[in-house]
Structure 1
């Protein structure tokens, strides 16, 4: 005679219920994965593993990896300091502060900086950034059409600068810079203009050159009409 079981029989293994998938939860997990392992690991397959689901389930909320990366970028843009938008003082200095904060976010996440050249964020944080920059350009009297095109150029300059330095090894970067410096300093008389200002080509710290570039763009945006028929 077989002994009776000591407890209730179970037809299947018990396991905790999985949290319901949401777009916000997917993006939050993607951001955590970016911080821990870098952008190259932020794929639909890897994300599905983290969320204990199949990749097909994610496509209900995110169309593809490009949209996923754009959403991750938008989430990080929530850390851009927009306080200068509502502060007092010169509008140019305040817009420089916002742009510098935006660039710093990309520098903090180098694996995302190059992707940001192609990613097209369209979430609330990106819209808030655009609104803040356009507000400051309007405060400075920049015509709306020039501001509309100018804000794109400003963000491109910031993004390209961060992307240029993304993922570089400090030692290798210094070796590359030293090689460029030698080439500039050793030019002969066949490059008279280069020989005359070669040292100036190499001068200035990265933050100084970034800020100068922003100032150049701001001056151009403020005083350059979009077409020859328009007045600045």
Structure 2
């Protein structure tokens, strides 16, 4: 007759088999609950009731894991809207930036993460398709994708750092006071454009920045 210890082990439900998709899904859930800093191989192994060494069969390191998390979230981007090609492109890029805004720690990691999964490739495909629809030459579009995504990523990362800073409001007030109090004799351009420098919502500035880049990509040939 089997003893109680043997019986309890046999009756214990079997753990689900590890898969890369399951590991990434668990990492996304963990990030949303505890933040990206907690998404380490050791913490993830604990969540999956396995050893860290088992995870390295599917994910080489934490950097690759974070890139996979970003790729998974990119699958949540909404379909391209109706309208002119450039406005649809601005909408897509704004959605990408907003996705990073919602996960500040991921926005910072995205500056160095190199996702290569299907959702990232789909995003690049969508951007290239919209640029092609607008008649942007292929080589310019190919280089332009990197510029557009970098702008969105850097904007989200910068804002996430500001949001996390206890001094952000004080620093903004200090900058506002310095610009508004600038001497017209010493800083004539700054004094003349002070209000414009401080104007506009974050959303308006982001959209304008994307339009500037799209226009520049369309009209700037690659170096010979």
TM-score (norm 2): 0.93
Pairing 1:35-50 to 2, within 5 Å after superposition: 35-50=32-47
2:196 counterpart (193, 200, 220): 200
1:179 counterpart (174, 182, 186): 174
**Distance (whole Å) between structure 2 residues aligned to residue 149 and residue 75 of structure 1:** 24
CA deviations on 1:156-181 (whole Å, 9 max, x unpaired) are 11111110111514874322211111
**Distance (whole Å) between structure 1 residues aligned to residue 130 and residue 222 of structure 2:** 19
**Distance (whole Å) between structure 1 residues aligned to residue 133 and residue 117 of structure 2:** 24
CA positional deviation for 1:202:
0.6
User: Superposition RMSD on alpha carbons, in Å?
Assistant: 1.6
Q: Looking at CA atoms only, which structure, 1 or 2, has the larger radius of gyration?
A: 1
Matched, 1:153 2:147: yes
CA deviations on 1:115-156 (whole Å, 9 max, x unpaired) are 011001110000110101100000000000000011111111
**Structure 1: where are the runs of 5+ without partners?**
1-6
SS of 1:81's equivalent in the other structure is coil
CA positional deviation for 1:187:
1.9
**Distance (whole Å) between structure 1 residues aligned to residue 216 and residue 16 of structure 2:** 51
TM-score (norm 1): 0.90
**Distance (whole Å) between structure 2 residues aligned to residue 59 and residue 141 of structure 1:** 44
**Distance (whole Å) between structure 2 residues aligned to residue 161 and residue 100 of structure 1:** 11
Matched, 1:77 2:69: no
SS of 2:57's equivalent in the other structure is coil
**Distance (whole Å) between structure 2 residues aligned to residue 70 and residue 48 of structure 1:** 18
1:128 counterpart (102, 122, 125): 122
**Distance (whole Å) between structure 1 residues aligned to residue 76 and residue 128 of structure 2:** 18
**Structure 2: where are the runs of 5+ without partners?**
none
**Distance (whole Å) between structure 1 residues aligned to residue 4 and residue 149 of structure 2:** 59
CA positional deviation for 1:8:
4.9
**Distance (whole Å) between structure 2 residues aligned to residue 45 and residue 11 of structure 1:** 28
Q: Is the 8 A contact 1:82 1:129 kept in 2?
A: no
**Distance (whole Å) between structure 1 residues aligned to residue 178 and residue 48 of structure 2:** 52
**Distance (whole Å) between structure 1 residues aligned to residue 5 and residue 192 of structure 2:** 85
Q: Is the 8 A contact 1:92 1:140 kept in 2?
A: yes
Give 2:23's aligned residue: 26
1:112 counterpart (77, 91, 106): 106
**Distance (whole Å) between structure 1 residues aligned to residue 90 and residue 119 of structure 2:** 18
CA positional deviation for 1:111:
1.3
Is the deviation greater in 176-185 or in 204-213? 176-185
Is the deviation greater in 28-37 or in 171-180? 171-180
Q: How many residue pairs end up in the alignment?
A: 219
